[in-house]
Amino acid sequence: MPFDLTTELLARQQTGLYRRRKTVDSPQGPDMVVNGRLMLAFCSNDYLGLANHQQVVARFRQAADDYGLGGGASHLVVGHSRAHHQLEEALAEFTGRDRVLLFANGYMANLGVISALMGRQDALFQDRLNHASLLDAGQLSGVRSQRYQHRDVDNLRTRLNKNDSWRKLIVTDGVFSMDGDIAPVTALAELASQHQGWLMVDDAHGFGCLGNNGGGVAELYGLDQQQLPVLMGTLGKAFGTYGAFVAGSEALIETLTQFARTYIYTTALPPAVAAATLTSLEILQHQGWRRVHLQELIHYFRTGCEQLGLPLLSSSTPIQPLLVGCANRSVQISQKLYDQGIMVTPIRPPTVPKGTARLRITFSAAHQRHHVDRLLDTLAMPSVAALITDEHRERV
């Protein structure tokens, strides 16, 4: 029976790995209407609370009046609007890079960059826990890929020492999307330079959240264009809109413009999204209180979890995963929280390694302390806490 899809689907259900969508009838925010029910949500990547910010939405409306809705064509045909251009220039200034290129989204940016820069003779070194789009990009480009141990600079050094490829690219998430920890980017930049290679950072979860001005890991660790030649960010998370960008040298951006197939062969982002992102960028840079507030919430939550003895992973970013282990158990806990009106997503294999299912709790500057109190109170309920700690005890 060549196309017996139901058996595979059934197997997925039995192992607790089945995914189901929920339907949302409200903007992103702490309070969301999900499947027709008012929920307190801790699972969006809208870290700064900009996805439904009045000024961002107003700019979008205005730009939709000016440009209409659709991008209409690819950037290289007739889809590259003034709004796209202004956003690229503003992002170049923000990141301190020569130039920026916009992509339709982060997944496509990663596919485009890696396949434009790397070929069969080259070597790509990826952190084991890199985002799926980076791993897929390695496969698509046909490059010889290696995955070094998570955040393990010595393991990477050993691999680099043994490799004599002409071009070497080290690529890492800036903030790991399912773990919330930060890559050792300074050490990675040094290694790249010692081996005449390049470093690429996908800072999808760092931009807006880290650094005094929201410039992400590059700002936090002061890495310039030479140390970090390929800097990628997404616009659908802290920026609250949609799309992605790559920042780097003139030569890098021209290379991507000529050779990145996911840039060339796709319709440009709607110009109004680019215009709205310009407003997001202004807010992100100038309203530092959003990052301060976010850090306060994170600290408050971590202290609360510590008092409850809950197994939080070590993270200083808005991604605060509670380790569960068993995939089925993570679904059960998420359902218990859902029953109490709280949305937290269970993250299971293959998104994370087997045996490391977790609840991915995320915070936004739009949350308030009373929201965190409600989450902590719910996690402390005996029926919920027991499910988390029993599972954890079995593991340790």
Which CB, 101 or 204, lies closer to ligand PLP?
204
Which CB, 310 or 343, lies closer to ligand PLP?
343
d(CA 381, CA 363): 21
Closest CA to 326 of 257, 249, 393, 239: 393
d(CA 302, CA 209): 17
Four-residue CA torsion sign, 90, 362, 352, 35:
negative
Question: CB of 46: closest distance to ligand PLP in angstroms?
Answer: 12
Which CB, 218 or 384, lies closer to ligand PLP?
218
Question: CB of 158: closest distance to ligand PLP in angstroms?
Answer: 25
Closest CA to 232 of 251, 211, 256: 256
Question: CB of 206: closest distance to ligand PLP in angstroms?
Answer: 9
Which CB, 234 or 334, lies closer to ligand PLP?
234
Question: CB of 236: closest distance to ligand PLP in angstroms?
Answer: 5
**Contact in structure between 285 and 311 (CB atoms under 8 Å):** no
Which CB, 211 or 304, lies closer to ligand PLP?
211
Question: CB of 11: closest distance to ligand PLP in angstroms?
Answer: 26
User: Starting from the edge strand earliest in sequence, which strands make up the sheet with 342-343, in order?
Assistant: 31-34, 37-41, 342-343
Which CB, 32 or 183, lies closer to ligand PLP?
183
Query: Which residues, 6 or more positions from 262, have their beta carbon under 8 angstroms from its beta carbon?
Result: 103, 104, 108, 109, 111, 112, 115
Which CB, 236 or 311, lies closer to ligand PLP?
236
d(CA 109, CA 116): 10
Question: CB of 237: closest distance to ligand PLP in angstroms?
Answer: 7
DSSP alpha helix (H) spans, 15-165? 54-67, 82-95, 106-117, 132-141, 153-161
CA distances from 289 to 158, 286, 293, 295 (A): 42, 9, 6, 10
**Contact in structure between 231 and 248 (CB atoms under 8 Å):** yes
Question: CB of 242: closest distance to ligand PLP in angstroms?
Answer: 7
Which CB, 221 or 372, lies closer to ligand PLP?
221
Which CB, 44 or 234, lies closer to ligand PLP?
234
d(CA 2, CA 5): 9
What is the binding site for ligand PLP (CB under 6 A)?
105-107, 110, 131, 133, 173, 177, 202, 204-205, 234, 236, 244
Q: How many residues make up the chain in this entry?
A: 396
Structure tokens at 394: 């079995």
Which CB, 218 or 379, lies closer to ligand PLP?
218
| Residue nearest ligand PLP (C-beta atom) | 106
User: Starting from the edge strand earliest in sequence, which strands make up the sheet with 123-127, in order?
Assistant: 99-103, 244-248, 230-234, 198-202, 168-173, 123-127, 144-148
Query: Which segments of the chain are extended strands (E)?
Result: 31-34, 37-41, 99-103, 123-127, 144-148, 168-173, 198-202, 230-234, 244-248, 319-325, 342-343, 345-347, 357-362
**Contact in structure between 169 and 117 (CB atoms under 8 Å):** yes
